[in-house]
């Protein structure tokens, strides 16, 4: 079972910042999950919420600001200066960094609220520029967005995100021609796992933050756990 850091090492460092990504790598994560959206001027940036208010010292929607405006904000302000100033990363900045590591990246297209026209093309262009085609999994709660990107880049690995307890998720994911199911980990009963595996679909699950769940999911044969504490997951998997 592989260990992916959710929004970087977000349990200890400001989520979706280069600091959290570097710390996840140093903690021994196998991969990093991150969220992408578009700025007003069409640049791909890494941030979870559609609004700036929770994680930065800005207010309002990400999509209403240019990249230059967003780069003046601090994405670690809730740490009250203890982490320095950490800007919202561009996806390009991340790609340039991760290309020098052996990390796999799970790029979540945050297209569930705003569809962000052309985000799929822009992500694909950057993945090619930095030769990350074999080191990426693309996922989204917006399954139309996943299929749009799959049209552009059919050889990449894709996952369908789901928070609810679907009846036959393996059949659903297989019918979309997608390789991975990305469910909420609490929904993974032995029966559901067996149904998904019967369709040869990989299971990459979120957000796994306690030791007991890591052990339960390992016993169920889950492929990737995505959590906020990659150090804890690494320790438990080594036991
Ligand atoms: O990709 C797994 C997980 O990150 C999905 O939920 O809200 O944390 O982006 P969320
Ligand atoms: Ca996410």
Q: Which of 54, 53, 36 minimizes the C-alpha distance to 45?
A: 36
Whether 48 is in the pocket of ligand 1, judged by its Cβ within 6 Å, is yes
Burial call 205-226: b when 16+ CB within 10 Å, e when fewer: bbebbeeebbeebeebebebbb
pLDDT of residue 148: 98
State the pLDDT at residue 48. Answer: 98
What's the pLDDT band for 149 if we cut at 50, 70, 90?
Answer: very high
What is the token pair recorded at 43? 């640049």
Residue 228 CA to ligand 1 centre (angstroms): 11
pLDDT recorded at residue 124: 98
pLDDT range class, residue 207, cuts 50, 70, 90: very high
Neighbours of ion ligand 2 (CB under 5 A): 35, 108
Query: Which residues pair with residue 136 across a beta bridge?
Result: 105
Answer yes or no: is the C-beta of 30 below 6 A from any ligand 1 atom: no
Residue 46 CA to residue 109 CA, distance in Å, equals 10
Tell me the pLDDT band of 211, cut-offs 50, 70 and 90. very high
pLDDT in tens, 84-143: 999 999 999 999 999 999 999 999 999 999 999 999 999 999 999 999 999 999 999 999
Average pLDDT score, the chain: 98
Share above pLDDT 70 across residues of the chain, in percent, rounded to a whole number: 100
pLDDT band at 77 (very low <50, low <70, confident <90, very high): very high
Task: Label the pairing between strands 224-227 and 202-205.
Answer: parallel
Q: Which residues contact 88 (CB under 8 A, 6 or more apart)?
A: 16, 17, 45, 46, 47, 56, 70, 71, 73, 75
pLDDT for position 13 = 98
Looking at the CA of residue 226, tell me the nearest atom of ligand 1.
2
The pLDDT score that the predictor gives to residue 3 is 99
- Mean pLDDT to the nearest integer, 225-236: 98
For residue range 155-168, list pLDDT tens digits in order: 999 999 999 999 99
C-alpha to C-alpha distance for 16 and 94, rounded to whole angstroms: 10
| pLDDT confidence band for 9 (50 / 70 / 90) | very high
Q: Would you name the residues annotated as active-site residues?
A: 6, 48
Task: Express each pLDDT in 27-69 by its tens digit.
Answer: 999 999 999 999 999 999 999 999 999 999 999 999 999 999 9
């Amino acid at each position: 079972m592989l260990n992916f850091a959710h929004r970087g090492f977000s349990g200890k460092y400001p989520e979706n910042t280069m600091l959290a990504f570097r710390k996840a790598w140093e903690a021994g994560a196998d991969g990093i999950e991150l969220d992408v959206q578009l700025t007003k001027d069409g640049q791909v940036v890494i941030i979870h919420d559609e609004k700036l208010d929770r994680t930065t010292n800005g207010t309002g929607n990400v999509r209403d600001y240019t990249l230059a405006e967003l780069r003046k904000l601090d994405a670690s302000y809730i740490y009250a200066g203890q982490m320095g100033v950490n800007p919202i990363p561009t996806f390009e900045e991340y790609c340039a960094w991760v290309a020098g590591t052996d990390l796999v990246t799970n790029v979540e297209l945050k297209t569930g609220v705003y569809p962000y026209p052309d985000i799929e093309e822009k992500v694909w262009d950057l993945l090619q520029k930095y030769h990350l085609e074999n080191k990426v999994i693309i996922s989204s709660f917006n399954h139309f967005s996943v299929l749009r990107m799959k049209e552009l880049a059919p050889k990449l690995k894709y996952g369908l995100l789901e928070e609810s307890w679907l009846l036959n998720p393996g059949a659903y994911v297989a019918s979309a021609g997608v390789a991975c199911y990305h469910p909420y980990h609490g929904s993974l009963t032995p029966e559901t796992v067996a149904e998904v595996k019967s369709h040869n679909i990989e299971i990459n699950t979120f957000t796994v933050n306690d030791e007991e769940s890591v052990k339960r999911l390992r016993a169920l044969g889950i492929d990737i756990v995505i959590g906020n504490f990659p150090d804890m997951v690494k320790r438990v998997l080594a036991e």
